[in-house]
Amino acid sequence: MKGWILALAALGLPGAAPAQDAGKSLNSQLSGDLTVHDPVIIREGDTYYVFSTVGKYIGIKTSKDLKTWADAGSVFAEMPAWTKEAVPGTEGIWAPDISFVNGEYRLYYSVSTFGSNRSAIGLATSPVLGAKAKWKDKGLVVMSTKEDDFNAIDPNFVVDAQGRQWLSLGSFWSGLKLFPLDAKTGKVAPGTEPYSIARRLAPAGGPAPVEAPFIIPHGGWYYLLASYDYCCKGVNSTYYTVVGRAKKVTGPYLGKDGSEMMQGGGTIFLRADLQEQQRFRGPGHAGAFTDKDGTSYVVYHAYDKQADGAPTLRIAPIRWEADGWPTAEY
């Protein structure tokens, strides 16, 4: 849905994070319109916004308390004109990412067709969110074709400790990539070569399921979330989320056990419900944000067995352990 996407203290926005009921997980308290896929989340003022693939042209959900969610329409009324030529046959917009940069909101988004790496990432901006949002499409950011070894979908914006701007992306093919951005335009300069930050080793002739990068700067480290295995199969989805960390935004990213994310390693961060429950399957495409009180959250989707496998919004606080590693309290 989708960088370290929120810095409320820097924005001077009012309000503290809502209190959670003691003894209950946040996920158990979610209600309202929870149908999302590939969600990302941000807060403006007293309202939380989730942007996701659900809704043909980037759907929006809103909440005042992180618990009760309502539909708030879509970002676009139709496909941006440039997308039809860039990716023939595309009919929808996927996997957004939202951030607040230099006084405006940046929404990165993906256009593709399923199973193809003729894909593109676009950018739209608005000075505000909500009913007064005025999204202006800025066009193509980066593109992949069959000649490339990556797939330009699932964007995530991040700023490093030196203030440099980056865009991570990728799904299948040779894995996850990281491109430097022009800070003025938010776009990849032509001819720029990406860094490789994660991949999985595929069996001969087989796929290499890794996608949905999201980089979290925290405590002098960069934490890379990535989804392994398969989404989009309802309750038969095998998606799960791993995390690795690095001292440089460009990697190398290692799991807690030292396993390399460039070799399919990492530490499990989100997994499906235990076998005796089996309700929420395939948790993945995770994003993160930090609220005004300093609480970090992870937002993701999972497929609800009690709702015919509908992709469903999930939100969990992140606990940062003494050794620096994150644990999702879901």
Q: What is the pLDDT of residues 102-113, one digit of tens each?
A: 999 999 999 998
What's the confidence (pLDDT) of residue 11? 32
What's the confidence (pLDDT) of residue 190? 82
> In which band, very low, low, confident or very high, does the pLDDT at 6 lie, cut at 50, 70 and 90?
very low
- Is there a catalytic annotation at residue 211? yes
Comparing 50-59, 202-211, 216-225, the range with the smallest average pLDDT is 202-211
> In which band, very low, low, confident or very high, does the pLDDT at 8 lie, cut at 50, 70 and 90?
very low
Structure tokens at 321: 């352990």
Phi, psi angles (nearest 5°) of residue 103: 80, 10
- The yes-or-no verdict on residue 303 having pLDDT over 50 is yes
| Domains of the chain, first to last | 8-328 (2.115.10.20)
Whether 318 contacts 325, CB under 8 Å: no
What's the confidence (pLDDT) of residue 20? 59
Q: What is the pLDDT of residues 207-247, one digit of tens each?
A: 779 999 999 999 999 999 999 999 999 999 999 999 999 99
Q: Tokens 């003691």 correspond to what residue?
A: 22
How many C-alpha atoms does 76 have within 13 Å on its Cβ side?
Answer: 26
- The yes-or-no verdict on residue 290 having pLDDT over 90 is yes
Structure tokens at 317: 């606080």
What's the confidence (pLDDT) of residue 10? 32
What is the Cα–Cα distance from 226 to 284, expressed in whole angstroms?
A: 8
Whether 18 contacts 63, CB under 8 Å: no
- The yes-or-no verdict on residue 57 having pLDDT over 50 is yes
> In which band, very low, low, confident or very high, does the pLDDT at 49 lie, cut at 50, 70 and 90?
very high
Q: What is the mean pLDDT of residues 128-154?
A: 95
Q: What is the mean pLDDT of residues 26-51?
A: 97
Q: What is the pLDDT of residues 248-281, one digit of tens each?
A: 999 999 999 999 999 999 999 999 765 656 789 9
Query: What does pLDDT average to over the chain?
Result: 90
Among candidate residues 38, 44, 97, 304, the one labeled active-site is 38
CA 242 vs CA 140, 156, 253: distances in Å: 29, 16, 11
Among candidate residues 97, 137, 154, 211, the one labeled active-site is 211
What's the confidence (pLDDT) of residue 16? 52
What's the confidence (pLDDT) of residue 275? 61
What's the confidence (pLDDT) of residue 278? 76
- The yes-or-no verdict on residue 17 having pLDDT over 60 is no
- Is there a catalytic annotation at residue 38? yes
